[in-house]
Amino acid sequence: MGEWLMMSPVVGAGALAWFATPANWLVVLQVAGGLGFVIFVHELGHFLVAKACGVKCEKFFLGFDVGGIKLLSFRRGETEYGIGILPLGGYVKMLGQDDNPAAAAEEAQRAKLSGDLPSEPVAGPHPEWDPRSYPAQSVPERMAIISAGVVMNVIFAVLMASLAYGLGVREMTCTLSSVRTGGAAWRAGLRTGDEIVAIGGRRNPIFNDLRHGVTVGSVQDGIEFAIRRPSDDSTKTLVLRPDTDLGAPTIGVTSPFSLSLPSDISRGLAGAAALAEPAFEAGDTIRAVDGVAVSTYAELLAALSTKPDAAVSLTVDRTASTAGGTSGSTEVTITLPPQPRLITGMNMTPLAIKAVQADSPAAEAGITAGERLTAVDGEPIGDPLALDDRLQRRAGSVVSLTLVGSSGDERRVEVRPRAVTWRDDETAGIGSPVSIASLGLAIPVDALVAAVEPDSPASKAGIVAGDRIVKATAVAPDDKPDPQAGIDLSPDQPSWPIVASAIQQLPRGTTLALDVESVSGDTRVVTLEPVAAAGRFIVDRDLVFDPVYETVRASSVGDALRRGARKAKEDLFMVYGFLGKLSKREISPRLLGGPIEIAKQAGRSANEGFGRLLLFLTMLSANLAVVNFLPIPVLDGGHMVFLTYELIRGKPASETVVGLLSYLGLALILSLMFFVFGLDLGLIPRR
């Protein structure tokens, strides 16, 4: 029985340099041992049941010894144990069985001529074969051998998850740090600081419960959520229908932020956070803003939003080592300057409204998606990225908006912009719109230049109205643009808000290389350096924080087993749900991860602690069980289909049919393997 460890519904990124760092070698060993263990458990299931049925097992290998090449091997009794050169799975080689359709006939002949034939005929599907060969066993016995790998994976998934919860696992809470502009959560009116207190029937969920619920939940019927807003202690129940425009079902929320800076800020901070005096240190925890205590990220944003143009004094708890080698906490006062918004001087083209937020000023005024906002108080809106700043300065006042419908009809409505103390995410994916949070509007912005401000960087670079930006690339000082980097822009993917947001994190001296297409169709590359805008500021000042974690630990052995069984069940159903949505095209196949991506994901899990690695291996074990039991010839599921046919008909399927289907199954598996490897290596773009 051969199993392929080649795909998983996980995505991520990592660097080879990380794995080469000696400090991470223990993590690398944990990952290698964990992945090898999952494969070993699967093969051990086949091996033990085959032995129990009296089948001769000639090989037990982790990895594939292609061409006979192996890292190591030894023989004990009649079985050779080893590690093959190709680390994509493992296999148990039984007499008379070969997953390679090209070698199946030869293997069958070898089993017949093995020299172990009895003097008297024996009962069975192939009485002429060696009684210790795989085909000589009864159908129920062969079914038991085939299914044993999957059963072992499920059992060990439960045990690994139970052990993880027995040790304790750090899990992110379900408090929201931001919502994706125009996404399902944003449309429903969710915002920074809101807490998800129930998903479906599950109370007090963790963030992984949210991921699972959205992955397996119905896109058409939606998912029921209970939301608590701490600012007014209100709770409401609503149904969110996940979006699929990013390639997978999402409701558009980001994980919760604490008030503690990451323990690893070796890459440095950007924006105002990098200019703080004295400098921030890893692990600093903010406790107050200008003497007013803050305990959550939402409270911090609310405090910073009242004075975006002024320096603020932050009271910070800092952990320091004492002479005795222990750690103590000291209070430090840090001055955080304001962060002016960086601009290019280009006013881009706003498109029709993509979404209107529930319970917002725009919704109350009857504004609908598809209308186009053309004027504010009779004046053109100008730069759509500056519109929210202008409207927030008029919070509470009556503002007249001019709107044009899809039929060309023009109308005017009056609204009262609201004060905003939260953060919407405008960088969640290609095509993200700009948030007009003061009104509750999500407006896509095309990279077609509508106007250029005089004496601006764009004006000095020769950009004029009518030009179109087709690509934007950040260029470090004394460097050249990388043709493989940058953000591609097109009318089909109006992503200028992503570029505008990315500009804010550029280190000093960094320039922006723009591929500019003129009205005539000519393309040129211009370089400019963004400048600070007058009267416009970044509220969060590019502060970065660790997520909010809580430790989930079982109270007893029974509780650990219950939690482990529930986790394994959820992972099994999540894989089935992922495959189901894949078949319905609700999930992009480009979100699959191959062996390289699985190793990277496992590395990150191991870096978060042994319990987190165990939960990742639980997911991987469930994944291996489900994928290998799919009804594809050469996989366990394909063998079960043939055995079921044989059980019903009383005779095996035609060798010709089995051979043909096996070739088709092998071709499918190899195609999928090349596809996920292409994704892992970047040869196939994930979008």
- Tell which CATH architecture fits domain 169-343+536-552: Roll (2.30)
Q: Identical fold at 169-343+536-552 and 345-529? A: yes
What does the CA dihedral 510, 515, 520, 522 come to, rounded to 10 degrees?
A: 110
Over residues 238-244, mean pLDDT = 91
Helices (H), 481-556: 496-503
The model's pLDDT over 599-609, given as tens digits with 9 standing for 90+, comes to 777 777 777 77
The domain locations on the chain are 2-168+553-681, 169-343+536-552, 345-529
| Rounded Cα gap, residues 357 and 210, in angstroms | 22
Q: Between 116 and 654, whose confidence is greater? A: 654
Mean pLDDT of the chain: 86
Give the whole-number percent of the chain exceeding pLDDT 70: 90
Of the pLDDT bands very low, low, confident and very high (cuts 50, 70, 90), residue 10 is: very low
Exposure string (b/e) for 631-658, b if CB count within 10 Å is 16 or more?
A: ebbbbbbbbbbbbeebeeeeebeeeeeb
Over residues 643-651, mean pLDDT = 90
pLDDT at 8 over 70: no
pLDDT at 503 over 50: yes
Tokens 């999500």, residue?
A: 442
Neighbours of 35 (CB within 10 A): 20
The model's pLDDT over 355-408, given as tens digits with 9 standing for 90+, comes to 999 999 999 999 999 999 999 999 999 999 999 999 999 999 999 999 999 888
| Dihedral sign (CA 386, 392, 393, 395) | positive
pLDDT at 49 over 90: yes
Amino acid letter for position 192: T
Of 69-78, 439-448, 485-494, the range with the lowest mean pLDDT is 485-494
CATH fit for domain 345-529, picks 3.30.9.10, 3.40.605.10, 3.40.50.2300, 2.30.42.10: 2.30.42.10
Task: State the pairing for strand pair 179-180/424-425.
Answer: parallel
Helices (H), 22-81: 25-52
Question: Which residues lie below 8 Å from residue 538, measured CB to CB, with a gap of 6+?
Answer: 271, 272, 308, 339, 340, 341, 504
The model's pLDDT over 472-497, given as tens digits with 9 standing for 90+, comes to 998 887 777 676 778 889 888 888 99
pLDDT at 13 over 50: no
Closest C-alpha among 342, 335, 373, 369 to residue 354: 369
Of the pLDDT bands very low, low, confident and very high (cuts 50, 70, 90), residue 538 is: very high
Question: What is the per-residue pLDDT for 119?
Answer: 47
Beta bridge partners of 243: 250
Of the pLDDT bands very low, low, confident and very high (cuts 50, 70, 90), residue 505 is: confident
